[in-house]
Amino acid sequence: MAPGPDPNSVGDGAKRDEATTKVPSKDPKKKDDKKEEDLSEEDLQLKQNLELYVERVQDPNPELQKAALESMRQEIRASTSSMTSVPKPLKFLRPHYGTLKEFHKNMAESDLKKLLADILSVLALTMSAEGERESLGYRLTGSEGDIGSWGHEYVRNLAGEIAEEYTVRQGEESSIEDLMDLVQQIVAFHMKHNAETEAVDLLMDVEDLDLLLEHVDRTNFRRTCNYLTSAAKYLPGPDDMLVLDIAYMIYIKFEEYPNALQIALFLDNMQYVKQVFTSCTDLLRKKQFCYMISRHGITFELDPEMVENDVDREMLQDIVNNTKLSEGYLTLARDIEVMEAKTPEDIYKAHLLDGRASSGPSADSARQNLAATFVNAFVNAGFGQDKLMTVPSDSTSGSAGNWLFKNKEHGKTSAAASLGMILLWDVDAGLTHLDKYFHTNDNPIIAGALLGVGIVNCGIKNDCDPALALLGEYIDKEDSSVRIGAIMGLGIAYAGSQNDQIKSSLSPILNDAKAPLDVIAFAALSLGMIYVGSCNEEVAQSIIFALMDRSEAELGEALTRFLPLGLGLLYLGKQESVEATAEVSKTFNEKIRKYCDMTLLSCAYAGTGNVLKVQDLLAQCGEHLEKGDNHQGPAVLGLAMVAMSEELGLDMAIRSLERVLQYGEQNVRRAVPLALGLLCISNPKVTVMDTLSRLSHDTDSEVAMSAIISLGLIGAGTNNARIAGMLRNLSSYYYKDASLLFCVRIAQGLVHMGKGLLTLSPFHSERLLLSPTALAGIVTLLHACLDMKSIILGKYHYVLYFLVLAMQPRMMLTVDENLKPISVPVRVGQAVDVVGQAGRPKTITGFQTHSTPVLLAAGERAELATDKYIPLSPILEGFIILKENPDYREE
């Protein structure tokens, strides 16, 4: 017998010479005979060789053993490089696994034993029983050679077994050092071979993500981080934070600051934000960071540490303060040529309906005029001109005043405040226009002017604090409508600012025994907005006391719901931090206890996608209760709030809501359209649209009303023709029912909001970030909609203006290094999820090329179509600073 392996059997099986060996041994059983007939000659040869090696391995002669092991190893290695089916050598060695295992057990400690362990480890890949982790076991006793030499599949399998082993050992609290060595190897291997996702998975399993930092390099950090951030959405806390922390560190390490900033904002970690500023030295890039922060809508003070130069800092602070937002928005409007003001009639398009509208009613309907006021405000939001409120007043009676007085009593509040909406973000012009309304003696008008000041300043910060200076004086006036105007104005203007001065002036109202309920409700709400997501103890205490002080009768009022909501907003998205307060809420009067509980829970977990909370809330919705309980409404809304953060959860929530609709009680059904509206806000999904369209004809008028409002919400700022058509038909269907018609009008206004340039979506930066103030605004409106009749159709219709907090231009505006708008070609298309995909897949599909500024619809993404410029942020949304590409050559 030849001492070494047959040279022809080694290596490429395909090119094996056919005439080399005549197979001598033909002793297999009959059963095998049949099988062998199916085998090609090459395979037969291979099989026999392997059988020979197996035999020889058991030979007492170490030389022979070694040679056999070597050849076996080569045979296996040669075939495991690709893995589409079980490799032949492994297949043929299957029957011998047991024999080899047995032999290995009895072998003396030697290099050969290790060699055999290596081979057994590979064989265990297909052979070992589930849960035995033999592959890993043999690997650990093996020769610890290059792990990749056995092919990807082996490494992948090993990684899986390590994860299992790790959990077992964690349970036993035994050492994991040997495992970690292996992990090191595997991670290094994966990271080198474009398998970042697997590396990350393994490290997450063994809870040692820090290792990643050593292994990422310039070529793979993007894909790694991309995977980390998307995986974070599906991890339970606190792991998600940990994962994002790592992503942040990687981004910082590779100076990918915009992404790092994004994550810092996601984590709501101001320390990290600051670090981004201090690590980056380029002023231009810092400007881009400021734009990103301003879009997120948080209050942020730059300090000398972040930007040294005073002049620069002032300029950057201006960007953070959003002072240029109005200018940018108007640039977009001019470019798209929609500056021409629109009247409500342009929106209603009654001429497309038959007959009726051609001869309008002879007398003004206050309800319809109020609707027109809102439509006018939403449609012309931010444009600075309209045809009802800002038309130049002629000397005779002041025609601007005319429309104002076509609204009745509290309607005038909304009319005056609509001026704030029309001049949104343009503080100077806005205050000028509103000034004259301060000097009347008509209280609703003054209230409206105050609210208008708040709206104009929404999202804009100013050193002089004009809103606080103007509104502060009116907080303690006699008239409660004026007080509400000022309080709500402050809430909108300073949402998220955590301004102490306002707190000290609003908190006393909450515990003032003489204050009327509506003033208290709005004060609680405004405080909630100003301290949104801050978990501020003091404010929480004040609201809790206010809630405890309410009498039984007051707790039954519709507006009381704003108290728990204000409390909830304090903990918006803060998860466990709410627990102490939730505990306190259990001591409340039972009339409000559950409502409060649901509101707190839904706010605290808003945007987290926490599945357990979704289940909790679903369980609440499924209960069939006696009359009088009203906590299911917020539970349904909460379902949407928790699930809205990522696509999968969102789709699931939509499906669950369909069920709830079918089996739920009436008060649950009323909230379902609103929840759908929140889930698809400014994102008109056809299925949801159809559901809402169906519900808009529901026999229960409250279901119909919320469905109509929701149709407006899902189409907000999209000019969606289909929704517009539906609403038009609804307007003729409900022409006799003033309340429903009012809702239809509001929805029409929402659909054409900002003539289609705005979005209400609280998500931005490729749906990663959730602007807390925006969410607060929407949620407040939705809670108000839970009792449509007494709030929006009553005299508190101005709560509709809370939507202003979520209004943002859905634009991409490119600016040059001097922040002047420039036009460049960009491709805009449907965003494609490329997480964990191999190679460099296209990130958008079905794109069209436009020149900036452009509008981005929900789910769309833009990319530059020119190499002439380099964008300073990889997320092309909002304001983008472009830098000239030094390597660019004109062709």
Residues that bind another protein (CB under 8 A): 354-356, 358-359, 361-369, 393, 397-398, 400-402, 404-406, 408, 428-429, 431-432, 435-437, 439-440, 442, 445, 462-466, 468-470, 472-473, 501, 732, 735-736, 738
Which residues share a beta bridge with 821? Answer: 815
* Cβ contacts of 516 within 8 Å, gap of 6 or more: 480
Residue 672 tokens, joined: 């379902």
Rounded to the nearest whole angstrom, what is the least distance from the CB of residue 323 to another protein in the complex? 12
- Among residues 131 and 392, whose Cβ is nearest to another protein? 392
Q: What six digits make up the tokens of 846?
A: 């079905």
Contacts of 65 (CB under 8 A, 6+ apart): 56, 57, 58, 59, 112
Angle between helix axes 41-57 and 62-80 (nearest 10 degrees) is: 140
Q: Of 632 and 731, which CB lies nearer to another protein in the complex structure?
A: 731
| Min CB(403)–another protein separation in Å | 10
Could you tell me which of 642, 572, 574 has the C-alpha nearest to residue 609?
642
Measured from the CB of residue 507, what is the shortest distance to another protein in angstroms? Answer: 18
Residue with smaller CB distance to another protein, 175 or 358: 358
Q: Measured from the CB atom, is 367 or 752 closer to another protein? A: 367
* HSE of 601, CA atoms in CB hemisphere, 13 A: 29
Q: What is the DSSP letter of 129?
A: P
Nearest distance, CB of residue 375 and another protein, angstroms:
18
**CB closer to another protein, 99 vs 317:** 317
The minimum distance between CB 328 and another protein, in angstroms, equals 17
Tell me, what amino acid is at 316? L
Between 101 and 408, name the residue whose CB sits nearer to another protein.
408
Asked if 468 contacts 501 with a C-beta cutoff of 8 angstroms, the reply is: yes
Between 714 and 741, CB nearer to another protein: 741
- Quote the least distance from Cβ 787 to another protein, whole Å: 21
Closest contact distance (angstroms) between CB of 192 and another protein is 58
3-state secondary structure of 244: helix
Nearer to another protein, 744 or 779 (CB): 744
Query: Phi/psi at 620 (nearest 5 deg)?
Result: -60, -40
SS3 string of 721-776?
HHHHHHHHHHHHHCCCCHHHHHHHHHHHHHHCHHHHCEECCCEECCCCEECHHHHH
Nearest CB to another protein, comparing residues 146 and 354: 354
* Nearest-angstrom CA–CA distance, 741 and 479: 31
Minimal distance in Å, beta carbon 500 to another protein?
Answer: 12
397 vs 823, which CB is nearer to another protein? Answer: 397
From the list 265, 319, 257, 242, the residue with the least C-alpha distance to 496 is 265
Separation CA 292–CA 831 (nearest Å):
20
Least Cβ distance, residue 401 to another protein (angstroms): 4
3-state secondary structure of 399: helix
**Closest separation between CB of residue 751 and another protein, Å?**
23
Strand partners, 869: 884
Least distance between another protein and beta carbon 408 (Å): 6
Q: What letter does residue 868 receive in the DSSP assignment?
A: S
Name which of 239 and 737 has its Cβ closer to another protein.
Answer: 737
Q: Between 34 and 439, name the residue whose CB sits nearer to another protein.
A: 439
**What is the C-alpha separation between 607 and 324, in angstroms, rounded?**
29
CB 451 within 8 A of CB 488: yes
> Using CA atoms, how far apart are residues 732 and 352, in angstroms rounded to an integer?
11
State the Cα–Cα distance between residues 315 and 875, nearest whole angstrom.
Answer: 22
Residues 6+ apart with CB under 8 A from 326: 382, 384, 424, 425, 426
Q: How far is the CB of 404 from another protein (least distance, A)?
A: 6
